[in-house]
Structures are given as structure tokens and as C-alpha cells.
Amino acid sequence: MASSPEERLKALGITLPEWLAPVSGYVGILRTGNLLIVSGQLCYGPEAKLAAVGRLGAEVTIEQGRFAARCCAINVLGRVRSEIGSLDRVTCVLRLGGFLLTTWDFTDHAAVMIGATEVMTDVFGDAGSHARCTIGVASAPLGSTVQVDAMVEIA
């Protein structure tokens, strides 16, 4: 069994994206001491296209939303690795924030965000268990169904 986060990532067949600088007045990741604060990541998937566009509870299913959340989490990991060189330096995923584009009556937020949570626990084991806040929103950048931000502790 793979023992380090980088080994588990490889065993899971997850390829992390390469990152360019954000296009407006913010940073993709901010480091302060041993904390990394990762800006919201959209659900760009393996083909560099949004994995889901539209509202949960309308044109997007929970399963599609869960996959989109997974894509967001992989993008978070890509940002982290681009900042510190190796995911093996991560000591704890402290928090994930999920922003879901939903209909007003959608209530199954947790069933979608588990896609992001599972990526973190699969890659980091117990260190991937985190606090989480997930909310439904009325609009989202580029119509992305899911956006995830994070706070991570590093050694």
C-alpha cells in the first residue's frame, strides 16, 4: 500500500494540473507561516473543461456535482503542490469550503461535497479529515456548478 501522499496520488491515478497565475487581482494560494490558504478552485476536469455547468437540483445531478467537487479538490491539490513542491509536506487539511450553484430548494449539499472530501482522505489518510462548510449560491464564475477553497497546514 502506498504510504506517502505523493505515492497514494500516483496509486489513485490522479494527475494534478499545472497552474498559471490568476487573471485578476488575487493570488491562487497564500502562504502565511505553516498555513496555505487556497483560493476557490473551479471544477475544471481532465480535459481542462468545466466538469459541470448549471444548477444542482435542475440540469445537474448529484452524481455530476460530486464529480465536479472531486475535480475541484484535485485542482486544490495542484495549487498546493505548485506552491510547496510535494504533497508529502502537508501535515493536515484543515478546512474545505464548498460553493454549489443550486436551485433555491436544493438541500443535498453534503452528497455533492463528499466528492472533494474523499479526494483529501484518499490522498492524505487521517491528515485529510477536515472541517467543512458548504453553501448553495445563486451565481458562480463561468456557471461552474462547484467551487472549492481550502486551508492546509504544512511542515
What digits encode the pLDDT tens for the residues 23-66?
A: 778 899 999 999 999 999 999 998 889 999 999 999 999 999 99
- Specify burial of residue 24 (Cβ count, 10 A radius: 0-12, 13-18, 19+): exposed
Instruction: Provide the strand spans (E) within 12-89.
Output: 29-32, 35-42
Mean pLDDT of 146-155: 98
pTM score of the predicted model: 0.96
Taken in order of first residue, the domains within the chain and their CATH numbers are: 33-154 (3.30.1330.40)
Neighbours of 48 (CB within 10 A): 7
- Specify burial of residue 74 (Cβ count, 10 A radius: 0-12, 13-18, 19+): buried
**Residue % of the chain over a pLDDT of 70:** 98
